[in-house]
Structure 1
Amino acid sequence: MRISGRKRNMVLFIVLGVCLVGVAVTLNVTWIILNWRRFMPMILGIPFFVLLIAGVVLNTIFLVREVRRNERHDAFLNAVTHELKTPIASIRLYLETLERRELPEATRTKFYGIMREDSDRLLATVEQVLKAGEVGQRSRTQVRVPVDMRSLVAASIDITRSRNHLDAEPGSPQPISFEADDPGVPMIVRGNPDELQTIVLNVLNNAVKYSASAIRIRVSLHIEKDAWIILSVTDSGIGIPAAHLKRIFKRFYRVPTRSVLRTKGTGLGLFLVRTIARQHGGDAFAASPGLGLGATVSIQLPRLLTALETPAVTSLHRSETA
């Protein structure tokens, strides 16, 4: 297997760091041996030795992290370039076909639908990149309102079904099933409705995107210890290796397996999920039995026990389901 230039540089930094530490240890041991009868030089030499070792180790760690960060940035740029270029090329091809040929009305309508889907995909990619830039700079003092999570999740499921054409045939099980605690129990959180819907849609879209050919997604919404509202989305898709369960929430990170890298994505979806959840006082977690065994992504948000205002689910949430 061919080793990339950055990986070679990372190996070089690690080897160089180990060599420098070895040289420092050798010099210090020699210093102690030569000056063991002289108390003050030995006492002064040990702290300087510790500082030297710490500096070398920290420098090596910093360099390795920078190499890895640059690799993630390059992967992100490649993914975004592909996500932007593919729909643009598709729209251009269909426009040229419509311009040069006389086509039946049914074919023209079909082409318009495909171009609309490509433009939606293009817009979604741009919005996700912009949102990732906003979440780290937004003030925590922004205005928030009570939001009914039961209604918001139901609306988000409708949007996901519509976007991915997941309408089940009569008599067949729904690709996305939804269950929640007793409808009489309020599930209210205080937050920004648009941001909360963004993270719910991201988790649902990931579950669809990384599912196998047969999409079976279970969505559950329940209250934990009266203080938390937990949204869990479980799929039966490609799964996540245990070593990557925490890393998938980092900016630009994508699991380096063939099944994941073959799937289109920017590595920003779950980063937005955890960042926005934490800005709302909650968190996000992932669990998976292993590769090929599906995964569960959970969002934890603090429950609002005394809602003084009418819970908000803006008209945008429902309008997109049409």
Structure 2
Amino acid sequence: MKWSSFFRTIQAKLIIIYVLLILVAMQLIGVYFVSAMKNSLTDNFTQDLQARAELLSVLAERDLGGSGEGQSEEDSVASLRERVSNLFNINGAEIQVMDASGKVLLTSLSSHADYVGRKNTQTVVSRALQGIRDNEEYMIDEDNIRKKVVAKPVVSGGKVVGAVYIAASMAELYDTMKRINNIFISGIFIALALTAILGVILAHTITQPIKELTRRATAVAEGNFNQNMPVLGSDEIGQLSKAFNYMTSRLRDALSQNEEEKEKLASILINMSDGVIATDESGRVILGNRRASAMLGVHEAQMSGRHISGLLGMDPAEMDELVSGSAASTILQIDPPGGSEEPVVIRVTFTPIHRREFGIAGSIAVLQDVTEQEELEASRREFVANVSHELRTPLTTIKSYTEALNDGALEEPQLAHRFVDVIQNETERMIRLVTDLLHLSRLDSKEARLRIRSSDVMEMLEEVADRFSFQMKQKKIRRKVFVEHGISHISIDRDQIDQVLDNLVSNALKYTPEGGKIDIEARLQDEHTLSISVQDDGIGIPKKDLDRIFERFYRVDKARSRNMGGTGLGLSIAQEIIKAHGGHIELQSELGQGTRVTFTLPLRSEGGDGS
């Protein structure tokens, strides 16, 4: 473990770097030096053999070219042997002289005496007998000894009369190279040892100031800011020491400023009109101002240490969602101590406190008294419930049929009678709608009762389509009413479901261009549920607005909706009515391709009112 920690220090790394640099440098120099030395020795060795072979070929010319007249072949061979033994005695080398046919006339090795009289068929010999002078090659004999082979032609009177062959051992050359390598390796080890010693000394001069700086930095981290590092030079260590001293002085200033800001923040928190509660990562209250304690009816000293969910009377799961940031705020109703006053409505907004590398380290809860705002909102909802924009649909129908009568339909008794009946029906339905506005408000507060009666599904859908037939003809919109086989009657509050259907068809009519189509369909979703849908191929709704489309007063395009008579309440009213019937409503739309609104109704047993 001790050695493992040592090798992770800068000192060890510097020593290793020094040693590796020297090792790499010595290796590169050694490879180049040994390679150059080997090439030089080999070239010198080859040149010496070439020179000897050239000299021997000149001397052999006298004996093989017939210069010595009256000299027999045996005398010529004897003369050559004497010259070879006296002038060309090379350790570990074999010298052969051949005639023009390649037959060996003599050899310098007695062990190869049986070669005399035989032909030497080696490539270098064949090339020499052809008159080629540069003939050399490497070979390894049966004793695994590397040899250099050289062959030269013997030329007399422009004619090749023989050849000289020399095969010299290179063992001494390689022994010399081996000794040079051993000397070089020894030098590397000596250089590495000296480098390691010098590395330890040099590394110590660098790491010692760093160790001192580390010790002082640890003291600063523990809160002792009165630390100054001596500056011993202007090098990088000296600049680091200056930076450390500057850092400690800035930290002292920052700490002083932080204390001042903390006092200011405490003063602001005490005098804020909103309540503020700070918690740690476990949800325990660590700070709460005077206003928060007044809102919650708890003394400031009693808030500290309590879990915020218990302090606010919230469900811990809901609290976790708020603190984690998945929800922004919530509305709470706080009963004042003693119960003598009206409940206070408080909006609590949570902001998580993020600490780098640790995630959420706590949260800040801001408490705002929104009692008055909530009362105003309730009044607005009550007003809108009493003045519903749904009154516009029957009024528009009455106006359209009245204009038709004025335009000449009054002169046609059958058509006029039908128009009058429609106007009368729409007037009565409008009266019912005005009466039902108060009922819808009670429905919203879960106090209203539904007037359930059996209704014919096909008749209900056809009547809806007839109520808008005039507007559809004006815009040349095709309609289709479809009721799945097996569906006849359903027990519902007919007026309220008519209100839902009128709203959906009216919306489809508004946002469907001329020449479009509107489909009204009723299907069985399962054996206990009826599904009714209104689908158009109009302009559609952007995807970003789909989640909020059922919110009250929410408009996709406020200017466009207002021009077309919309108030943003139609779908929210329809949603409340469907919920009161025990069903649900959903909307699917794609921009530019149309909208489909579907609501479900439970198939009740016929007869009687339902709540």
> Into which bin does the TM-score normalised by the smaller protein fall?
0.5 to 0.7
What CA distance in whole angstroms lies between the structure 2 residues aligned with 1:123 and 1:143? Answer: 17
Tell whether 2:413 aligns with 1:154: no
1:132 to 432, 437, 462: 437
Label 1:25 to 1:150 Cα distance change in 2 as closer, same or farther (>3 A): same
What CA distance in whole angstroms lies between the structure 1 residues aligned with 2:380 and 2:599? Answer: 25
2:406 to 109, 123, 137: 109
Asked if structure 2 preserves the Cα contact closer than 8 Å seen for 1:238 and 1:259, the reply is: no
Asked if structure 2 preserves the Cα contact closer than 8 Å seen for 1:219 and 1:233, the reply is: yes
2:518 is matched with 217
What CA distance in whole angstroms lies between the structure 2 residues aligned with 1:127 and 1:251? Answer: 23
2:478 is matched with 175
What CA distance in whole angstroms lies between the structure 1 residues aligned with 2:404 and 2:602? Answer: 50
Alignment of 1:155-304 (within 5 A): 155-162=463-470, 164-166=471-473, 175-182=478-485, 185-290=486-591, 292-304=592-604
TM-aligned CA deviation for residue 45 of structure 1: 2.0
TM-aligned CA deviation for residue 129 of structure 1: 6.0
More strand by share: 2
What CA distance in whole angstroms lies between the structure 2 residues aligned with 1:30 and 1:302? Answer: 52
Deviation track 1:214-239 (CA, whole Å, cap 9, x = no partner) reads: 33212221111121111111112232
TM-aligned CA deviation for residue 177 of structure 1: 1.6
2:305 is matched with 46
Letter in 2 for 1:186: I
Letter in 1 for 2:518: I
What CA distance in whole angstroms lies between the structure 2 residues aligned with 1:195 and 1:294? Answer: 25
What CA distance in whole angstroms lies between the structure 1 residues aligned with 2:404 and 2:497? Answer: 39
Letter in 2 for 1:302: P
Asked if structure 1 preserves the Cα contact closer than 8 Å seen for 2:480 and 2:519, the reply is: yes
Letter in 2 for 1:300: T
What CA distance in whole angstroms lies between the structure 2 residues aligned with 1:71 and 1:294? Answer: 35
Find the residue that maps to 2:278 and give its secondary structure: helix
Give the RMSD, CA atoms, in angstroms: 5.1
What CA distance in whole angstroms lies between the structure 1 residues aligned with 2:330 and 2:483? Answer: 50
What CA distance in whole angstroms lies between the structure 2 residues aligned with 1:130 and 1:254? Answer: 26
2:417 is matched with none
Letter in 1 for 2:529: W
Letter in 2 for 1:278: K
TM-aligned CA deviation for residue 66 of structure 1: 4.5
Letter in 1 for 2:347: T
| Matched positions, count | 252
Asked if structure 2 preserves the Cα contact closer than 8 Å seen for 1:211 and 1:235, the reply is: yes
Label 1:107 to 1:217 Cα distance change in 2 as closer, same or farther (>3 A): closer
Letter in 2 for 1:133: L
Asked if structure 2 preserves the Cα contact closer than 8 Å seen for 1:189 and 1:303, the reply is: yes
Identity %: 19
Label 1:70 to 1:28 Cα distance change in 2 as closer, same or farther (>3 A): same
TM-aligned CA deviation for residue 261 of structure 1: 3.9
Deviation track 1:171-214 (CA, whole Å, cap 9, x = no partner) reads: xxx621222212xx133221222222222222111110122343
Q: Which has the higher contact order (CA 8 A, sep 6+)?
A: 1
Asked if structure 2 preserves the Cα contact closer than 8 Å seen for 1:219 and 1:231, the reply is: yes
Larger-gyration structure (1/2): 2
Asked if structure 2 preserves the Cα contact closer than 8 Å seen for 1:218 and 1:233, the reply is: yes
What CA distance in whole angstroms lies between the structure 1 residues aligned with 2:279 and 2:473? Answer: 63
Label 1:111 to 1:45 Cα distance change in 2 as closer, same or farther (>3 A): farther
Asked if structure 2 preserves the Cα contact closer than 8 Å seen for 1:76 and 1:252, the reply is: no
TM-aligned CA deviation for residue 147 of structure 1: 1.4
Letter in 1 for 2:500: I
Asked if structure 2 preserves the Cα contact closer than 8 Å seen for 1:282 and 1:300, the reply is: yes
Deviation track 1:98-129 (CA, whole Å, cap 9, x = no partner) reads: xxxxxxxx99934999xx99999999888656
Letter in 2 for 1:215: G
Q: Tell me which moved more, 204-213 or 253-262.
A: 253-262
What CA distance in whole angstroms lies between the structure 2 residues aligned with 1:124 and 1:271? Answer: 20
What CA distance in whole angstroms lies between the structure 1 residues aligned with 2:536 and 2:544? Answer: 19
Q: Structure 2: 5+ residue runs without aligned partners? A: 1-271, 289-300, 315-328, 332-345, 349-368, 411-419
Label 1:111 to 1:237 Cα distance change in 2 as closer, same or farther (>3 A): same
Label 1:212 to 1:279 Cα distance change in 2 as closer, same or farther (>3 A): same
Q: Structure 1: 5+ residue runs without aligned partners? A: 1-15, 32-41, 92-105, 310-322
What CA distance in whole angstroms lies between the structure 2 residues aligned with 1:287 and 1:151? Answer: 26
What CA distance in whole angstroms lies between the structure 2 residues aligned with 1:147 and 1:120? Answer: 17
What CA distance in whole angstroms lies between the structure 1 residues aligned with 2:428 and 2:455? Answer: 26
TM-aligned CA deviation for residue 57 of structure 1: 6.1
Label 1:208 to 1:28 Cα distance change in 2 as closer, same or farther (>3 A): same
Asked if structure 1 preserves the Cα contact closer than 8 Å seen for 2:552 and 2:572, the reply is: yes
Deviation track 1:62-112 (CA, whole Å, cap 9, x = no partner) reads: 749859958986x969x979x98xx9xxx9xxxxxxxxxxxxxx9993499
Asked if structure 2 preserves the Cα contact closer than 8 Å seen for 1:274 and 1:283, the reply is: yes
Letter in 2 for 1:166: K
Letter in 1 for 2:599: I
Asked if structure 1 preserves the Cα contact closer than 8 Å seen for 2:440 and 2:448, the reply is: no
